[in-house]
Chains A and B, each alone.
Chain A
Amino acid sequence: MANPSLEVKGINVSYGDIQALWDVSLNVEEGAIVALVGANGAGKTTLLKAISGLVRVQKGEILLSGKSINNLSPQQIVDRGVIHVPEGRRLFSTLTVMENLKLGAYIPRARAQYAQSLERVFGLFPVLKNRKEQKAGSLSGGEQQMLAIGRALMAQPKILMMDEPSLGLSPILVRTIFQLIATLNEQKTTILLVEQNVYQALKIAQQAYVLKTGKIVMCGQCEILLADEEIRKAYIGERGSKRS
């Protein structure tokens, strides 16, 4: 196995008295797409938040290229190139598209590459260029998702963590988003993808982890998982049809 870019080793996370993650481990290799799937409330978002520094890790370690990053501040983690696109997009709806993008490139490291990043984002999402002075809240669902991803790209991510990017989108848009994710990966972006749309996620990723009530219950190569009976029954449905 190549050197994992991101290693999560046996972390515990609790919200007050309630433990959300139990001894969770996860590896993301450089250049890969890793999917993290599981039911609602399984703890997927919590895991991302632990990596991006929004919640404290009580036990265990998170390593980025071998160096520990657990319990660093979110700013430090962004600085190291781990970018979290949160669930529900969480754009600054009262700010314009341009302002959202500008904030995406806030850290000095990204600000230096501002022009190039902007060109790349507008290249990937021409619709954003057309709407650049519009308030983010006035965009459609699909456009907002694009802006969320674009904003993350402005930070020059080494690892991009996406939390349910297909949520609330029409099937066509879902396809577009997943194509985009594949494109980004082709452009050498490492991706950790949290999804409820298990079928699509497993199709696009190389490796996947299944999280259930705070514990990793399964992990492996995606072709194998896709064929697995339990997974199909639990998350995909008998005929393996798309769940949007």
Chain B
Amino acid sequence: MSEWAIISQLTINSILFGSMYGIAAIGLSLIFGTMRIIFLAQGTVIIFFAYICYWLLTLLGIDPYLSILLVVPLAAAIGVGFYYGIFKEAAVLEDRNISLLIAVGLMYLMENLMMVVWKPDPRAVVTAYTSWVFRPFGTTIQFTRLMALVLAIAAAIVVFIFLKRTLMGTAVRAATEDPVSTKLMGINPNLVNAIAFAIGVGLAGTAGVGVATVYSFDPVFGFMFTLKALISLALGGIGNVWGALMGGIVLGFIESFSSYYIGGGWVDAISFGIFLLVISFMPQGLFGARGSMKKHKVKR
């Protein structure tokens, strides 16, 4: 393959891979932005929905892309449940450890639940179209990967419109900046937080479908995914839907290119290394308009 062909293939892979990280990162961004909670269970939750997608196909014959209509509302509802059930009290505590540990506990719980109930063997969704491949200009694009990108962009658009054009979305953005003033507007903080969780987990549901159709997955896959989503978030900057998505794609680039040119085992070290550099020297992220995790002290 010519050098150009290699680079364009890697670029395409980067964008396709990275978009999955991006969706996960958007969810993390919302939950962190409104409640300063690092939702470490995000990746595991994504895998959970990948399983749901798998079982909907295997047991009920529902096509994965159609199952989104079921999975996303279910995911949003579960997100609200997470908030009211386990995170609500911790969201207002000063000690950030508590919410961190709750997220860890949730991750453990779900990971092992999946292992026991669904066995640790990897699963993969197989349909008529999972093997479709396009070959434009000498590159290879898998249909399902492309669809995952489409899903990611569609999800980002929906979230963006919600945040920018609806009153509730504006309230969420306000809460991300100043939770106290938001209360003084008569806005119920629980409502805002629940919505953040609903969107965050709803996005996880979307990503779950994407992951199910693209990868073979198992319960332990989740945590690494969460770490990648965190890196994407740091790269993209908080408080910015497109930033988070782009952060994921940038990570996709880092992984694809370093995997090819430097070799498999080093990819994680490079990803984390760049992560460290970015949070040290550019805490607002590569695309952050304003505000970084650093500046986001809880205004009480």
A contacts, CB < 8 Å to B: 52-54, 73-75, 78-79, 83-84, 86, 90-95, 99, 102-104, 106-107, 110, 137, 151, 155
Contact = CB atoms under 8 A, between A and B. Distances in A.
A92 B173 contact: yes
Interface residues of B, number: 21
Contacts of B187: 75, 103, 106
Interface string B270-300: 0000000000000000000111000000010
A151 B187 CA distance: 14
A52 B186 CA distance: 10
Given A92-B174, A102-B167, A106-B167, A86 B180 contact: yes
Contacts of B178: 90, 92
B185 interface: yes
A228 B121 CA distance: 83
B188 interface: yes
A175 to B, nearest CB: 27
A92 B177 contact: yes
B170 interface: yes
Contact of A74 (B171, B184, B289, B291): B184
A76 to B, nearest CB: 8
Given A84-B184, A92-B177, A155-B186, A106 B171 contact: yes
A155 B291 contact: no
B180 A90 contact: yes
B97 interface: no
B173 A107 contact: no
Given A54-B180, A86-B181, 6 more contacts: A73-B188, A75-B187, A75-B188, A78-B185, A91-B181, A94-B289
B173 to A, nearest CB: 6
A99 B299 CA distance: 20
Contacts of A91: 181
- Most A CB contacts (10 A, CB to CB) among B167, B174, B181 go to B181
Given A94-B290, A99-B170, A106 B185 contact: yes
Nearest to A96: B170
Contacts of A104: 185
Given A102-B167, A106-B167, A106-B171, A94 B177 contact: yes
A164 to B, nearest CB: 15
Interface string B88-114: 000000000000000000000000000
A78 B180 contact: no
Nearest to A151: B185
Contacts of A107: 185-186
A53 to B, nearest CB: 8
Interface in B233-269: 239
Contacts of B177: 92-95
Contacts of A75: 183, 186-188
B239 A94 contact: yes
Given A90-B178, A92-B178, A94-B291, A54 B173 contact: no
A83 B183 CA distance: 11
